[in-house]
Amino acid sequence: MSLLRHIRQCNEHRPDHFVPFWHRGDRLGLIRKKNAEALRRFPSAYEVDADAVRLVVDGDFDALSAIIEETTEHLVAEGLVAKWRNEFFAAAPRWGAPAHFKIDRGAVPFFGVRAYGVHLNGYVRDGATLKLWVGRRSPKKAVAPGKLDNLVAGGIDYKHGLLETLIKESEEEASLPPAIARHAVPVGAVSYRMAVTHGLRDDVLFCYDVEVPPDFVPNNNDGELVAFTLEDAAHVIELVRQGDTFKFNVNLVLIDFALRHGLIAPDDPEYLDLVTQLRRPLD
């Protein structure tokens, strides 16, 4: 089977079903046309027309965040936002730009705000063989319950930087000590845009590799992962190729790992499509 199908799956969306979400001349998201109708009830805050939604209030970060929060409460009540997570992401026009406001993670797909995460490939060298730590997600997770995952992964909230998030999640998810997590190597990113039940995921995942000591055994502290196994990296890629045992976006992080570590032969006819399509251009 094909590795490329995972990239296609993570990019399934109909651009014509979404309209840009603007504020002060910046596009901050993409809203499903059907969902945009729900914002007509707040005409003092949103201007909704056929080809755009505009947040028309002015104000500083806190004032705008309060308005988005109020909207989110209504959307939760209407069932248009899946779940109240009490974790807030930054809404910014691009990486490194100041955020216009913060937004509850649960409302991120509704507004189609770009979200950023960190994913950590934890590996061990066993002679010439590369082994990867694989986590299994809790059956209670809202997204991809029971699926396989990276050693550590987490969303970047509006208060934490990349490395801070990586260190925090490393402790919570795998008991990986800060002294090791701090030496994780940033190795690039993958990006995709995928339609989901409540809107759109416009995601960027920063990828990190860390060589962990041979005697390290991960241990979960936050209930998000229920088991860990150390697998031959080549076997992990074979699992990615053959099935859907990994969470949808973790497949992309693992394909990136495989490409960087020579686990996919460059004369594979899919090779250049994998290399060029793993990172959706950001607009």
Handedness of CA 96, 98, 21, 30 (dihedral sign): positive
State in angstroms the smallest separation of the CB of 51 from a copy of itself: 26
Residue 96 near a copy of itself by CB under 8 A: yes
Identify the residue among 171, 188, 226, 232 touching a copy of itself (CB under 8 A): 188
Nearest CB to a copy of itself, comparing residues 19 and 278: 278
Q: Judged by CB, which is closer to a copy of itself: 253, or 259?
A: 259
Measuring CA to CA, which residue among 237, 186, 241, 245 is closest to residue 210? 186
CB neighbours of 151 closer than 8 A, spacing ≥ 6?
Answer: 120, 121, 122, 132, 133, 134, 135, 173, 174, 176, 212, 218, 228
Q: Pick the piece of the chain touching a copy of itself (CB under 8 A) from 8-16, 29-37, 65-73, 179-187.
A: 179-187
Verify binding: residue 127, a copy of itself, rule CB under 8 A. Answer: no
Residue whose CB is less far from a copy of itself, 97 or 143: 97
- The residues in 145-164 that bind a copy of itself, with binding defined as CB under 8 A, are 161-162
Region at 131 (left for phi over 0; alpha for psi -120 to 50; beta for the rest): beta
CA-based Rg of the chain, rounded to a whole angstrom? 20
| Coil/strand/helix, residue 107 | helix
Q: Which residues sit at the interface with a copy of itself, rule CB under 8 A?
A: 94-97, 161-162, 185-189, 191, 204, 206, 259-262, 264-269, 271-273, 275-277, 279-282
